[in-house]
C-alpha cells in the first residue's frame, strides 16, 4: 500500500521518510519536525488528514513605562493549509497570518502606537534519499504602521534546511543545518545548525541556535499530552513607519529571551500554551541617523490556543 501523508490507514514504517524540520522564522513560532508521510493515526500535535492543518492564535505582553521604558504587546493569528505539491508525499504548506503590535513607551523612541505584520508563508518539504530531508520556506509580508507605503514595508523572509537522521543513534538524533533569512535592517540572516535529540518518549532536547529548547512530558493520555519546557529565543521585528514629524523611516526592534512554559497538545480540539520569561539585550534601531534606543530588561508573558 502506498504511504500517503494524511492517510490514517497506513502503518508507520520506521524506515520511512525523514521528519523535516520547520524552523521558526518569526518570534513565537514553534519548531516542528513531525510532518511524517505516514501515520497509523493522527499523532498528538501532528498533521491532520485533508487540507486544513490548524489555526493558531498567540498573544504576548512585555510591560513598559516605569518597568522597562518601552513596552509592547501583540496578537498573532495564522491559519495553516496543506496541499499536494505535486503529490501528497511532497506537500505544500500555506500559512496566511496577521500580527498586530501595540507599542507603549516614553517620548524617547519615536515610534507609532501600532505596527502590523501581514504575511503569507509557502513551505515545502521533501525526502532526499533514505535519511536526508529538505525543508524550504519563503514568506512575503507587509510590515508597517499602515500609514507608510513604500518598498521598505515589503519584506521576504524564509529558511532553508537540510536534516539528517543519524543512523548510529537509533533514529533518536536528527542533525540540522541551514539558515534563517529575516530580511531585517538590524539582522538580515542567521545561521542555524545543531541537532534534535529525542532522549526518550518523555524528554527532548533541541540544540539549535538561536532557539534552543529542552522539553519534558509530564503526563499523557490517548488524546492529549502536557509538556513543560525551557527555551531561548531571538525576538523582534522590522517596520516601515511614519515619524512624529511626518517623515518616513524604518524601525527595527530586537531582544533576547529566556522562557519557561507549558504546552497542552491534543489530537483534536483546542490545545494551549503559556510562557513566562526574561527579556534582555533590547534595542530599537532606525534606518535614519536617529540614535538607537536601548530599553531596560524586563519580563514577558505569552499565551495562545491552537485548533
Summarised one tens digit per residue, pLDDT across range 10-28 is 222 333 333 344 444 454 4
Local confidence band at 9 (pLDDT 50, 70, 90 cut-offs): very low
pTM: 0.83
The residue ranges of DSSP E strands in the chain, in sequence order, are: 52-62, 71-84, 91-104, 114-128, 132-144, 154-165, 173-181, 189-200, 203-208, 213-220, 224-242, 248-266, 271-286, 298-306
Burial label for 180, CB within 10 Å (0-12, 13-18, 19+), is buried
Q: CB atoms < 10 A from the CB of 42, how many?
A: 14
* List of domains in the chain: 52-306 (2.40.160.40)
Cα separation, 125 vs 81, in Å, equals 14
Q: Which helix (H) or strand (E) holds 166?
A: none
Summarised one tens digit per residue, pLDDT across range 233-273 is 999 999 999 998 889 999 999 999 999 999 998 888 899 99
Q: What is the pLDDT of residue 106?
A: 60
Q: What percent of the chain has pLDDT over 70?
A: 80
Q: What is the pLDDT of residue 246?
A: 87
Q: Name the grid cell of 305.
A: 490556543
Amino acid at each position: 500500500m502506498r504511504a500517503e501523508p494524511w492517510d490514517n490507514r497506513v502503518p508507520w514504517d520506521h524506515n520511512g521518510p525523514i521528519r523535516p524540520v520547520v524552523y521558526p522564522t518569526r518570534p513565537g513560532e514553534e519548531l516542528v519536525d513531525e510532518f511524517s508521510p505516514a501515520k497509523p493515526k493522527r499523532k498528538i500535535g501532528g498533521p491532520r488528514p485533508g487540507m486544513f492543518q490548524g489555526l493558531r492564535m498567540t498573544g504576548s505582553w512585555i510591560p513598559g513605562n516605569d518597568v522597562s521604558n518601552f513596552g509592547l504587546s501583540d496578537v498573532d493569528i495564522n491559519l495553516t493549509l496543506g496541499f499536494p505539491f505535486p503529490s501528497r508525499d511532497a506537500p505544500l504548506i500555506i500559512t496566511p497570518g496577521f500580527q498586530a503590535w501595540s507599542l507603549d513607551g516614553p517620548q524617547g523612541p519615536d515610534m507609532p502606537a501600532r505596527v502590523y505584520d501581514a504575511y503569507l508563508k509557502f513551505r515545502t518539504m521533501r525526502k532526499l534519499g533514505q535519511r536526508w530531508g529538505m525543508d524550504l520556506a519563503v514568506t512575503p509580508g507587509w510590515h508597517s504602521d499602515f500609514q507608510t507605503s513604500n518598498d521598505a514595508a515589503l519584506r521576504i523572509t524564509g529558511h532553508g534546511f537540510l536534516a539528517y537522521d543519524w543512523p548510529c543513534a537509533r533514529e533518536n538524533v536528527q542533525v540540522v543545518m541551514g539558515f534563517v533569512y529575516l530580511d531585517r535592517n538590524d539582522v538580515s540572516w542567521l545561521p542555524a545548525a545543531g541537532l534534535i535529540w529525542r532522549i526518550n518518549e518523555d524528554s527532548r532536547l533541541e540544540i539549535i541556535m538561536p532557539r534552543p529548547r529542552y522539553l519534558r512530558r509530564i503526563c499523557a493520555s490517548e488524546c492529549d499530552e502536557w509538556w513543560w519546557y525551557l527555551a531561548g529565543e531571538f525576538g523582534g521585528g522590522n517596520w516601515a513607519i511614519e515619524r512624529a514629524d511626518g517623515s518616513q523611516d524604518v524601525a527595527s526592534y530586537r531582544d533576547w529571551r529566556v522562557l519557561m512554559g507549558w504546552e497542552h497538545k491534543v489530537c483534536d480540539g483546542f490545545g494551549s500554551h503559556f510562557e513566562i520569561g526574561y527579556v534582555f539585550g533590547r534595542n530599537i534601531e532606525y534606518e535614519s541617523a536617529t540614535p538607537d534606543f536601548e530599553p531596560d530588561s524586563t519580563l514577558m508573558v505569552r499565551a495562545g490556543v491552537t485548533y
